[in-house]
Amino acid sequence: MIGSAYSNGGISIIDLGNSANSPGELDLVITSYNAYTYESSVTVLTPNGAFVAVDNVEVDYGLDNVITPGESIDISVSIENLGNESSSAISMSLVEIIDNPYITITDGTASLNSLLNGSSAYFNFSFIVSNTTPMGHTFALELQLETAENNSSTTLNMTVQALIESFESGNFSSQEWQFGGDADWTITLGGSDGSYSGRSGTIDNNMTSELSVNVEILQDGYIRFDKKSFL
C-alpha cells in the first residue's frame, strides 16, 4: 500500500510520497461500511517530458459477440501522449503470455515514429482461434507498449464460448445428435432460453426415446441442462 486516508465531507487527500515522482498507474480502492467497494486507477503523469499510455482497447467479437473456434478476432487500440513533449520510437506488440497451441497471432506488431503531446494514435491487431479449441477455453494475451520515454503492458483475459445447444436452429443439425429407442425426438416451440426446445418422442410403457451427443471434454468445467416434464 502506498497510502490511505479517511474521507471528510467526500474529500480525501492521500500522500503518494515518492510514487508520485514516476509516471504510471496506481490502483485506487474506496471502501465504506455497508456499501459496494469502488475500484479504479489513477494515472500519475510526469511533470516534464512525454508519456504515452493506452487509452482504450476494443475487441471485435463479430455479430455473435463471442469468441468461437475457427474465428479471427480483431483488436483496436488507441494510445495517447499525456505528457507535455513529443514522444518518439513508439512500438506496440500483441503477444501470448503463455504459449497457446490454439491461438495464432496474425497481426501482432505496430509502430509509430513520433506522437505529439496531447495527440492520439490507433493500432490494429488480430489473432485466429483454432478450430480445435475446446469450448470454454480461457487464455490471456498481452499488449506491450514501448516508447523512448516509457514502457507499459495491458493484459487481455479472454474465453472461448461455452458449448451451448438452444435448438434455435429449429433442428438438430448444430451438434451431432444421435437418436435411439422407440421414438425420435422432435423440435417444439417454447424453451427456457429461446423459441425452441427438444422434445422426446411419444412413447408408452416399457418404451424409451433417447437423444445423445458425444463431446470431447479437454478441461474441467460444468455441464447442465434444463428439462420439463409433460404429464
Q: What would the pLDDT profile of 172-192 be if each residue is shown by its tens digit?
A: 988 889 999 999 999 998 877
Domain map (residue ranges) of the chain:
1-44, 52-159, 163-231
Q: Which residues contact 61 (CB under 8 A, 6 or more apart)?
A: 67, 73
The two beta strands, 120-129 and 103-107, are antiparallel
Give pLDDT tens digits for 59-115.
999 888 889 999 999 999 999 998 889 999 999 999 999 999 999 999 999 999 999
Query: Alpha-carbon distance 34 to 13, whole Å?
Result: 22
What per-residue confidence (pLDDT) applies to 47? 60
pLDDT of 212? 92
Q: What cell does 126 get?
A: 488480430
Residue 59 contacts by C-beta under 8 Å, 6 or more apart in sequence?
73, 74, 75, 156, 158
What is the widest separation between alpha-carbon atoms in the chain?
84
Q: From CA 1, how far away is CA 7, in angstroms rounded?
A: 17
Measured between alpha carbons, how far is 94 from 79 in angstroms, rounded to an integer? Answer: 14
Closest CA to 126 of 148, 83, 156, 147: 156
Residue 37, classed as helix, strand or coil, is coil
CATH number for region 52-159: 2.60.40.10
Q: Are 103 and 128 a contacting pair, CB within 8 Å?
A: yes
* 25-50 pLDDT tens trace: 788 888 887 778 888 888 776 667 88
Alpha-carbon span 197 to 230, nearest angstrom: 13
